């Protein structure tokens, strides 16, 4: 299927690894021009180098950074058609999971919302004038199934993503008539650095439950989250849904949420 993305200009945040890297790679394969925004590059991102890829080094916890990334995209490629707000999860320097409501303090809550909600607000605010000039504009916000499944773990993160889902629907209602589609993709547990890096979620959970990191990722976490596929989601599986949603082939899809979570989220 031709996704009609050749020549389109996309900005992807959190683009150096995991889901963001997979989105960048897939967009490039479809012929899009991509600005990859992240605090630093990575060998995997560098391997994609070419005339249709530009990296912008930004820290999205800086309130000025989202606008700088948008400006870089327009300056480099002359337009902006697609915004993928993928950056999120633990703010820089924070390790998740955190257990219990009383564990995060006011500063933790503020940092979590700043990274997972306010950075997205700032990016969309900066991008909208350019997206409104496009004939096929699309925004995809990457959320989480945890926004729908409250639990006494990562409660600040889940709340921030629930707010992001609400924002997505409000934006789709306001800007859909003006030609900007806004959708949300909600992964479950994805096999990314959040889980796999040393000291990451797999190690935290292994210590909490008296097992080892491989067992956590291969069986314990999927079982605890009741993922019916029995495994963590692969980043490419999320990226495929994101790229389909930003394609003009999805021209009548807006204000929708797509779960890519191995059956974690169960609700009507």
The domain locations on the chain are 9-190+234-260, 191-232
Whether the full predicted model's pTM is greater than 0.75, yes or no, is: yes
Distance CA 189, CA 222 (A): 8
Q: Is 175 among the catalytic positions?
A: no
Buried b (16+ CB within 10 A) or exposed e, 143-164: bbbbbbbeeebbbbbbbbbbbb
* SS3 (DSSP) at 221: helix
Q: What is the pLDDT of residue 194?
A: 87
17, 33, 161, 175: which is the annotated catalytic residue? 161
Q: What is the pLDDT of residue 151?
A: 87
Neighbour tally for 231: CB within 10 Å: 14
Q: What is the pLDDT of residue 158?
A: 97
Q: Give the residues of the chain that fall short of pLDDT 50.
A: none
Distance CA 239, CA 196 (A): 19
Fold of 9-190+234-260: Rossmann fold (3.40.50)
Which residue stretches of 47-176 are H helix?
65-77, 106-113, 119-131, 155-175
Yes or no: say if 20 and 13 are a contact pair by the CB < 8 Å rule.
yes
Q: What is the pLDDT of residue 20?
A: 98
User: Which structure tokens are listed for 243?
Assistant: 């790229």
Yes or no: say if 87 and 20 are a contact pair by the CB < 8 Å rule.
yes
Distance CA 101, CA 154 (A): 8
Distance CA 227, CA 237 (A): 15
Eight-class DSSP state of 127: H
Yes or no: say if 59 and 123 are a contact pair by the CB < 8 Å rule.
no
Q: What is the pLDDT of residue 170?
A: 98
Angle, CA 245 vertex, CA 240 and CA 246 arms, to 5°: 105
Q: What is the pLDDT of residue 163?
A: 98
Q: Is 161 among the catalytic positions?
A: yes
Yes or no: say if 187 and 238 are a contact pair by the CB < 8 Å rule.
yes
17, 33, 157, 175: which is the annotated catalytic residue? 157
């Amino acid at each position: 299927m031709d996704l009609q993305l050749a020549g389109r200009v996309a900005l992807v945040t959190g683009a150096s690894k995991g889901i963001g890297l997979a989105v960048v790679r897939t967009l490039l394969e479809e012929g899009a021009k991509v600005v990859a925004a992240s605090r630093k590059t990575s060998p995997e991102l560098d391997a994609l180098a070419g005339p249709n890829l530009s990296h912008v080094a930004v820290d999205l916890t800086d309130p000025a950074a989202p606008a700088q990334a948008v400006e870089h995209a327009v300056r480099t490629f002359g337009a902006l058609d697609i915004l993928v707000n993928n950056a999120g999860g633990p703010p820089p320097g924070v390790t998740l999971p955190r257990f219990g409501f009383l564990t995060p303090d006011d500063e933790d809550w503020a940092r979590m919302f700043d990274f997972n909600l306010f950075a997205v607000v700032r990016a969309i605010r900066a991008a909208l004038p350019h997206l409104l000039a496009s004939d096929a504009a699309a925004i995809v916000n990457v959320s989480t199934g945890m926004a729908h499944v409250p639990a006494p773990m990562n409660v600040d993160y889940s709340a921030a993503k629930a707010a992001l889902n609400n924002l997505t629907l409000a934006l789709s209602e306001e800007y859909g008539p003006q030609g900007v589609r806004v959708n949300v993709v909600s992964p479950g547990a994805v096999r990314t650095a959040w889980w796999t890096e040393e000291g990451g979620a797999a190690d935290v959970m292994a210590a909490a439950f008296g097992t080892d990191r491989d067992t956590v990722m291969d069986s314990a976490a999927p079982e605890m989250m009741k993922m019916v596929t029995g495994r963590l989601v692969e980043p490419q599986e999320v990226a495929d849904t994101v790229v389909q949603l930003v394609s003009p082939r999805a021209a009548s899809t807006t204000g929708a949420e797509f779960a890519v979570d191995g059956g974690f989220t169960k609700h009507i």
